[in-house]
Amino acid sequence: MTTVDASFSPVPWLDVPYIRSLVEKAGTEDRQGIEAILAKKKSELDEVKKHSTGALEERELKGIGLEEIATLSSIKSPDLSKKLHDLAKEVKLHIYGNRIVTFAPLYISNLCKNECNYCAFRASNKEIVRTAMTQEEIAEQIKILIDQGHKRVLMVAGEAYQAKNDGFQYVLDSMKTIYSVKDGNGEIRRVNANVAPLSVEDFKLLREAGVGTYQCFQETYDPVVYKKHHLSGPKADYVWRVNVFDRAIQAGIGDFGMGALLGLADWRFEALALKSHISHLEELGSGAHTISFPRIEPATGSEISRHPPNKVSDEDFLNMIAIMRLAVPYTGMIMSTRENSEMRRKTLEVGVSQISAGSRTDPGGYSADDKSARSGQFEVGDHRSLDEVVKELIENGFIPSWCTACEKKGREGGDFLKIARIGAIKKTCTPNALVTLKEYLLDYALPETKKVGNALIEKEVGMLEEPRSANTRATLEKTEKGARGECF
Ligand code: SF4
Ligand code: SF4
């Protein structure tokens, strides 16, 4: 295996030597620098909160830059972490309010021609049962998710669009199937997709099929580390992968889900590189719709997944999430069920705005039998049902949301980001969260969840300003009488 020079920058917007120098500097805690950044951001936040109308420049909370990210990533003292977390939560509340969007992943296939040595789906792994679900099987799985109350699905597939599975058409057909299933009052209203990097032409097809957010994690932005973990297959090409959103933009897609697999390279490198990547996309008129924070979890047949080379501690993990909330205030931040319930609870306190619930990572897993249980991509840490997660969110003061209104109302890509940047999106997020929560309580919730949920709706609707409060109340009444899919 040829190696990559440590100073090599594969794309112009990623200054690898500079990032390495910042990571090195972040090895020593800079208390004075940290306190100065946190104080400055807090006063900027207080200032923008005063301007709910007026010039956009006055209303936008700017993110922090690479130097500031590096300084904050030097935090080791608990009192500084606490200050950072509190500020990150305040920023999240300012942008999105207290709603938490929920979704479920749907793994349609675990066939893959790549050789990522941390993943159970890698081509050479003989320890899992391989499946590409048929359209009928996908429809059955979706029906199960709908009956649990889900409205948003993240469709996931390994990279193996083989002729025998109708090639890439298989992905497009699967999206169509997901959107076509209706059951009772339920349906999936937004299908996000985590599929391998595509050409501009294939991205156009994905857009026409109605993709919501296109998600693709670089896994690691460190080119040296990337080479060590992506041994063969199309994914071994770092540049093809890292330029994926540039091609998606050319195809007219504007909502991107980004992330790095935490545990491969130094997490500080990933945070700095993510910010560099997002700045590049912003220059192209786009940005990050969401950022995910997957930590490596044990995967069947992968030794590396059990002993990650740069394991991220719980403290650093929470700090990284909080730092990214300050770095890109407007972005949605996603926490999956890789983490256990306790850690997921903590991440909600430092800026996370979306969570998956009741997840399975094996194709066919929602009607699991012993066979499929061995075929997941990684081990799930939170096994609770959607209803249990929803009830806990409510009890902790969050509004669970299944909202997909922005897509319906055409608030996507750059248009969406403009509204999110000035903290105006929460004015629609909160009413929409309440309406979708009402739908969930009427159609799917267990009695205890219904009780706490209805109390939360009553309290929250009373806290909205007029005329928003009256409009929301009217929509809730319509929903009570049978309307579905009403939104603002
Ligand atoms: Fe395939 Fe993705 Fe797993 Fe790599 S991480 S082996 S591309 S499924
Ligand atoms: Fe998401 Fe838009 Fe709904 Fe807010 S209003 S939850 S940003 S879809």
Q: Per-residue DSSP letters for 41-55? A: HHHHHHHHHT-SSS-
Beta carbons within 10 angstroms of residue 116's beta carbon: 26
Cβ-based neighbour number of residue 387 at 10 Å: 19
Q: What is the pLDDT of residue 309?
A: 97
* pLDDT of 370 higher than 90: no
Q: Confidence class of residue 407 from pLDDT cuts 50, 70 and 90?
A: confident
- Are 351 and 91 within 8 A, CB to CB? yes
Tens-digit pLDDT profile for residues 76-90 = 999 999 999 999 999
Query: What residues does each domain of the chain span?
Result: 96-411, 424-480
Of these ranges, 50-64, 166-180, 388-402, the one predicted with the greatest mean pLDDT is 388-402
Question: Quick one: fold of 96-411?
Answer: TIM Barrel (3.20.20)
User: Are the C-beta atoms of 74 and 319 separated by less than 8 Å?
Assistant: no
Instruction: Ligand 2, residue 433: give the atom nearest the CA.
Output: 6
Residue nearest to atom 2 of ligand 2 (CA): 406
The answer to whether the CB of 114 is under 6 A from ligand 2 is no
3-state secondary structure of 156: strand
399 C-beta closer than 6 A to ligand 2: no
Distance from CA of residue 228 to its chain's centroid?
26
pLDDT tier for residue 374 given thresholds of 50, 70 and 90: low
Residue 167 tokens, joined? 């090639």
pLDDT confidence bin for 202, thresholds 50/70/90: very high
Round to whole Å and give the CA distance between 101 and 282. Answer: 24
Where residue 289 falls among pLDDT bands split at 50, 70, 90?
very high
- Ligand 1 neighbour 249 (Cβ under 6 A): no
Contact of 344 with 294, CB cutoff 8 Å: no
CB 57 within 8 A of CB 318: no
User: CA distances (Å), 329 to each of 2, 18, 40, 469, in order?
Assistant: 39, 23, 15, 26
Best mutation site among 334, 406, 407, 475 for ligand 2, i.e. most ligand atoms within 8 A of its Cβ?
Answer: 406
d(CA 19, CA 170): 40
User: Is pLDDT above 80 for 1?
Assistant: no
DSSP helix/strand/coil, 83: helix
CA neighbours closer than 13 Å in the CB half-sphere of residue 285: 10
CA nearest to 351, candidates 102, 101, 64, 93: 93
Whether 388 has a pLDDT exceeding 80, the answer reads yes
pLDDT at 480: 97
pLDDT at residue 372, as a whole number:
46
Q: Is the pLDDT of residue 216 over 90?
A: yes
Share of the chain above pLDDT 70, in %: 96
Mutate to test the pocket of ligand 1, among 114, 118, 240 (most ligand atoms within 8 A of CB): 114
Q: How far is the CA of 333 from the centre of ligand 2 (A)?
A: 13
Any residues with CB less than 8 A from the CB of 253 and at least 6 apart, and which? 203, 206, 207, 211, 214, 413
Q: Measured in angstroms, how far is the CA atom of residue 170 from the centroid of ligand 1?
A: 17
Question: Which tens digit of pLDDT belongs to each residue from 95-109?
Answer: 999 999 999 999 999
Helices (H), 119-199: 135-148, 169-180
Q: Computed from CA positions of residues 331, 251, 294, 345, in that sequence, does the dihedral angle turn out positive or negative?
A: positive
Cβ partners under 8 Å of residue 382, min gap 6: 337, 339, 340, 341, 344, 357, 359, 389
Confidence band for 165, pLDDT divided at 50, 70 and 90: low
User: Is the pLDDT score of 435 beyond 80?
Assistant: yes
d(CA 328, CA 417): 11
Q: To test ligand 2's pocket by mutation, which of 213, 401, 402, 403 has the most ligand atoms within 8 angstroms of CB?
A: 403
Q: Is 390 in the pocket of ligand 1 (CB under 6 A)?
A: no
Average pLDDT over residues 414-430: 86
> Pocket of ligand 1, candidates 111, 116, 124, 171: which has the most ligand atoms within 8 Å of its Cβ, to mutate?
116
Q: Which of 213, 302, 215 is nearest to 263 (CA)?
A: 302
* pLDDT for 51: 80
**Residue 54: CA atoms inside 13 Å, Cβ hemisphere, count?**
10
Report the alpha-carbon distance of residue 159 to residue 378 in Å, rounded: 16
Nearest atom in ligand 2 to 404's CA: 8
**Banded pLDDT at 211 (limits 50, 70, 90):** very high
Say yes or no: CB of residue 119 within 6 Å of ligand 2: no
Residue 27 alpha carbon to ligand 1 centre in Å: 32
Collapsing DSSP to helix, strand or coil, 268 comes out as helix
